[in-house]
Structure 1
Amino acid sequence: MDDGCYYDYATQTAGDVLKEITSVYQTDLLDIRWRDFVNLLREKYSVAIEPHIFNDPNLNARLAGVAMLGNYPLIQFNDSTMQSEERKHFTIVHEGVHVFRHKDDLDAEGEAFTDIMENSAYSPEEQVEELITNQAASIIMLNDSALLTCMQNNWGYGKIGGFYEMSASALFERLVNYLHFNLQINSSTARYLVGRYRCGDTTEARNFLPLLISHFDYIVDWFHDFPLTGNALDELYLNLGIGFEAPASHWYQLRHIFPERLNLIS
């Protein structure tokens, strides 16, 4: 099974969670935050959520959270100062996804912190479960509708992370997955583009990704018909009503997305 299938499972799980939140709390997708999922877990599924701090600093640095399933579901998250607040948010959502995915399986047990300490590595099946759960959690924290709206409003990387209370690394993986799985951009290019959005050395470089996502279908159609040249890009920006001349940094980033169009330049 390829990664796309796993992402489909994650998208379905996240979609079910988001649908329940909108139904139970009459909340629009654009307004959903991670805390809404916490409320759903507590109020509808009677999930207990408890902080935990280890006496061992190494464990506080290494272990994030666990979920115990069955009749009395319990989420424990590492509440030490060695875990950032944003990391704690993601941990709670991640463990909540485990609970949600197995809410109808009363024989499911989950795991305690002692289980993690005793097991040196995940089994292949557990690795798949962790992958799906991580991806679903990131979609719940920043769903597709909210992500697209942020891009259309030209929000910067830090503003999105702050508003949705996501760590820089969690947001990075969320955006990479969106580009790779939703827009079919290859993984290495997706990481390059998100890296420029996060840490580009100019405002223009950092502004490219919001523009790309906001106008993706139009841009793809445009460069299906025209080779990737500076003049063609300038004309595209003129048609989009966003300027008469595209920044050079945008052209370099587009080269990573459409390398085959460069071959059409005479």
Structure 2
Amino acid sequence: MIGRLLMDIDYDTYFKYHDQSYIIIEKIADYYGIELKDLRWDHYRDYAIDVEDIEIVSYSFGEVASKYLSGNIINIFGNYGISYNPFMVEGRQRFSILHELGHYYFDMDKSKTTQSFSDLLDGNGYSEKDAPKELRANIFASLALINNEALKECFRKQMSFYQICDEFEMSAAALYVRLYDFLTKFILLNQSLARTAINQFRYNYDPSKLINYVKMSL
């Protein structure tokens, strides 16, 4: 779900959802009194629990459903709950929690007594109506895992691909897409050059191409 729905998005749609997401990101940074570069995924989780009063729990969806569902969010008479699939890798679990929070902030109709969103592991099967909502929730989750300022700080510190994954507790797949997104949307690099730079950074532990492309933005 992470890659297919994010990497195919057009420039204007991306920045529309990016700017909407940053309103939430900046609000949470202000709440904790920290700089954007110091935000981590658990700030969003804790804010959701302590301020938004959302219950977040792991949930075994059953043998069949667990192969297809990554998580869901439900509202029952103003009580909100997020459940996530515990059989996914931990980085994917965090992305799913943030994805559901994206639905909470952008898609849940507070006037309804009941409402829910369920999200699929592979990103296939969404209706034409729901696809934009899933895309926006993905963009929010991607930016919440590591926002622009935090990513630039990693470049300045010359952190390796897997050091970034460890620091921000995210999966390699999520970081790959986040880097691709940054290079193609902010630096306006073509897709082929972006993939080459990321693969060299990830597999050859060589950041030279990547740093050369992003240095003007630091």
- TM bucket, shorter chain: 0.7 to 0.9
Whose RCO is larger (CA < 8 A, sep 6+)? 2
Alignment equivalent of 1:111, drawn from 103, 111, 117: 117
Q: Decide whether the 8 Å contact of 2:187 with 2:213 is kept in 1.
A: no
- Structure in which a larger fraction of residues adopt helix: 1
**Which runs of no fewer than 5 residues in structure 2 stay unpaired?**
1-8
Structure 1 residue 161 corresponds to structure 2 residue 165? yes
**What's the counterpart of residue 100 of structure 1?**
105
Match of 1:135 among 132, 139, 153: 139
For the Cα contact (< 8 Å) 1:66–1:95, is it kept in 2?
yes
Normalised by the length of structure 1, the TM-score is 0.70
Partner secondary structure for residue 57 of structure 2: strand
Q: Determine the structure 1 residue equivalent to 2:198.
A: 194
Q: Please give the TM-score of this superposition, normalised by the length of structure 2.
A: 0.85
- Counterpart selection for 1:62 from 68, 72, 85: 68
- Following the alignment from structure 1 to structure 2, what is the Cα–Cα distance between the partners of residues 167 and 138? 11
Alignment of 1:1-266 (within 5 A): 3-56=10-63, 58-69=64-75, 71-80=78-87, 83-102=88-107, 105-107=110-112, 109-112=115-118, 121-200=125-204, 203=205, 205-215=206-216
Q: In 1, Cα distance between the equivalents of 2:10 and 2:129?
A: 14
Ranges in structure 1 where 5+ consecutive residues have no aligned partner = 218-266
Counterpart contact for 1:65–1:77, Cα < 8 Å: yes
* 1:39-75 Cα distance to aligned partner (Å, 9 max, x none): 111122111111101331x433332101124722211
User: Which of these two proteins has the greater Rg computed from alpha carbons?
Assistant: 1
Structure 1 Cα separation of the partners of residues 33 and 217 of structure 2: 31
Shift of 1:103: 5.1
Kindly tell me: are residues 129 and 102 of structure 1, through their superposed partners in 2, closer, same or farther at Cα, counting changes over 3 Å? closer
**Alignment size in residue pairs:** 205
> In the alignment, residue 125 of structure 1 is paired with which amino acid?
K
TM-superposed CA distance for 1:198, in Å, is 0.8
C-alpha change, 1:23 and 1:206, in structure 2 (3 Å) is: closer
Report the AA paired with residue 4 of structure 1. Y
